[in-house]
Amino acid sequence: MRLHVLPTKRFKTFSLSLFVGIPLTESRATSVALTPFVLRRGTSSYPETISFRERLDDLYGAGFGFDLYKRGDYQIVQMRLDIINDRFVSSEEPLLKEAIKFLGEALTSPALENGHFREKYVEAEKRTIAKRIEAIINDKIRYASERCTEEMCKDEPYRLLALGRKEELAGIDAASLYSEYRSWLSEAVIDLYVSGDTTLEEIESLAKDSFQLPGGSPVAYSEPEFRAPRAEPQTIVERLDVAQGKLNMGLRTDIGYASADYPALLVYNGILGAFPHSKLFINVREKASLAYYASSRLDGHKGLLTIQSGIEIDNYEQAVRIIREQLAAMKEGSFAPEDLERTKAMLSNQLRELQDSAFERIAFDFNNVLSGSNRTGESLLRDVTSVSPEQVTAAANRVGLDTIYFLRDRKEAAANG
C-alpha cells in the first residue's frame, strides 16, 4: 500500500480516502463491485451492522462511505472516512489512530462465518446492486450515456458498468465472493490518503498496525489505451418506451490527463459544452430550441469526450447537424474571444474551489497517481489561464467523432410491424 499525506492545519478534521483499483475485466467486474457493499456491513471487531455503525458514533460521529467507479481501464473502490481532530475534543485514544484502525479493518478484516463472508450480508447486498443497476435502466439520461459508451467501447473493458452485470449476481455466493475478495486484495493497486494536521511518519506507523495486507511491493496503474476514432462514425439507434429522445455522441482523443496539451483540451471542452455559455447549450438549446439539455463531458483518463442531449424525437436530424457544426467550428478555431476568457474564468474558479475541500484535494492528487503525472492545482490553474486560441484549435483537431447513439420511441417500428 502506498501512503500519501497532504498536511494542512486548515481543517478541523482528518479526511481519509482509501483507493483500491484493479483492471476492469469481464470475469470479475461484478464480484469486485459487490465486495465493498459487503465490507460495509461489518468487521471482525464489529460483525453486526448496527455495532459497525455505533462504532462510528463513538468516534464523534465519524462519517464513513464508499464510491465505486471507473477510471481509465480500472475499476476503483474508494472508501472515505472523515473524523474530527483530537484537538477539538477529549478522547481516550487518538482519533486519527482509531480512524485508520477502523478503515484498515473495514478493508482487510471483514465479518466472517465458516471461513467466508456472511451469507446474509452477501444475499442482501446482491439485491442492493441489482436495484442500482435497474435504477440506471429506469433513468434514461444515465442509460443513454452508458449505452453510448458501451457501443463506442464494445471490444474494450471500459464498456463494462462499474456495478458489473445484474445477470451474474445469481451465480455469486458467500464462499466464491470471499475467494475473489482475497484475490482482489492481493492484486489491487492500493493508495491511502490522509489530509490534516499530521505527518507521513505518523501515518506510516499507524497504517502498519492497522492493515492486514498480503506481502509484496505496491503496484502502479498502467497507462490506459487511447484508441483512434472510427474512420466513419457509427450510428446506433435503440428503441424503447420513451417520450423524449436522447441523443448522445462519443468522441475520442489521444490527449490524456498527463499530456502537456491537457489544459488546452479542458478549455476546448469548456467552450464546446461544459458550461451554460458553451456552444452546445447556446446553439442547440437556446437558439434552435432543439434540446432540453445539451452538454459535453471529458474523461481525461481514457481520452473520451461525450456529448449528451435530450431532444424531441422528430428533431434528430437537425440536432445531429447542428452539433456536428459546432465540432467543425471548434476545429476551425471559430469561437469568440469572450467565450475563451469566460471558459478560463469558470475553470479557474473550479480549480480554486478545490482548495476548500480536503476530499477534492485528495481526488486531484489521486488523478496524478492514476496518470503518472505530477501536476499541482496551482500549475494546472496557471496552464489553463495561459491557453491560447491556437492551442484550443490544435486540441480540437485531435478530437474525432466515433459514435452517434440515439434512444427513441417505438412508434416507427410498431408501424412497420
- CA nearest neighbour of 376 among 263, 274, 269: 263
Q: Read off the pLDDT of residues 97-133 as tens digits, 9 standing for 90 and up.
A: 999 999 999 999 999 999 999 999 999 999 999 999 9
C-alpha to C-alpha distance for 365 and 115, rounded to whole angstroms:
37
C-alpha to C-alpha distance for 229 and 42, rounded to whole angstroms:
45
> For the whole model, what pTM was predicted?
0.94
Per-residue pLDDT at 339 exceeds 90? yes
DSSP string of 114-133, one letter each residue: TTEE-HHHHHHHHHHHHHHH
Report yes or no: 326 and 268 within 8 Å, Cβ to Cβ: no
C-alpha to C-alpha distance for 291 and 113, rounded to whole angstroms:
54
Q: Which residue has the higher pLDDT, 302 or 415?
A: 302
List the 74-84 sheet strands across, edge first: 2-7, 189-196, 13-23, 74-84, 63-71
- CA nearest neighbour of 265 among 303, 213, 237: 303
Query: 135-167: b or e for each residue (b if 16 or more CB lie within 10 Å)?
Result: ebeeebbebbbbbbbbbbbeebbbbbbbbbebe
Domains of the chain: 2-210 (3.30.830.10), 234-416 (3.30.830.10)
What value does the mean pLDDT of the chain take? 94
- The helix/strand/coil state of 189 is strand
C-alpha to C-alpha distance for 236 and 149, rounded to whole angstroms:
11
Per-residue pLDDT at 417 exceeds 50? no
C-alpha to C-alpha distance for 301 and 223, rounded to whole angstroms:
9
C-alpha to C-alpha distance for 178 and 114, rounded to whole angstroms:
11
Q: How confident is the model at residue 42 (pLDDT cuts 50, 70, 90)?
A: very high
Per-residue pLDDT at 355 exceeds 90? no
Q: Read off the pLDDT of residues 10-27 as tens digits, 9 standing for 90 and up.
A: 999 999 999 999 999 999
- CA nearest neighbour of 14 among 50, 58, 64, 51: 64
Q: How confident is the model at residue 409 (pLDDT cuts 50, 70, 90)?
A: very high
Q: What is the pLDDT of residue 412?
A: 66
Q: How confident is the model at residue 413 (pLDDT cuts 50, 70, 90)?
A: low
Residue at grid coordinates 444475499: 123
C-alpha to C-alpha distance for 301 and 370, rounded to whole angstroms:
8
Per-residue pLDDT at 96 exceeds 80? yes
Q: What is the pLDDT of residue 414?
A: 46
Query: What's the Cα-to-Cα distance from 97 to each of 107, 204, 212, 280, 405, rounded to whole Å?
Result: 16, 11, 15, 49, 50
- CA nearest neighbour of 253 among 301, 295, 325: 301
Q: Read off the pLDDT of residues 144-203 as tens digits, 9 standing for 90 and up.
A: 999 999 999 999 999 999 999 999 999 999 999 999 999 999 999 999 999 999 999 999
Report yes or no: 295 and 325 within 8 Å, Cβ to Cβ: no
Question: What are the cell numbers at 290?
Answer: 432543439
Between 17-21, 30-34, 57-61, 76-80, the lowest mean confidence (pLDDT) is in: 57-61
Q: Which amino acid is at 65?
A: G
Q: Read off the pLDDT of residues 228-249 as tens digits, 9 standing for 90 and up.
A: 999 999 999 999 999 999 999 9
- CA nearest neighbour of 251 among 404, 73, 144, 406: 404
Alpha-helical regions (H) of 69-116: 95-108
Q: What is the pLDDT of residue 86?
A: 82
Q: At what angle do helices 95-108 and 200-210 cross, to 10 degrees?
A: 40
Per-residue pLDDT at 415 exceeds 50? no
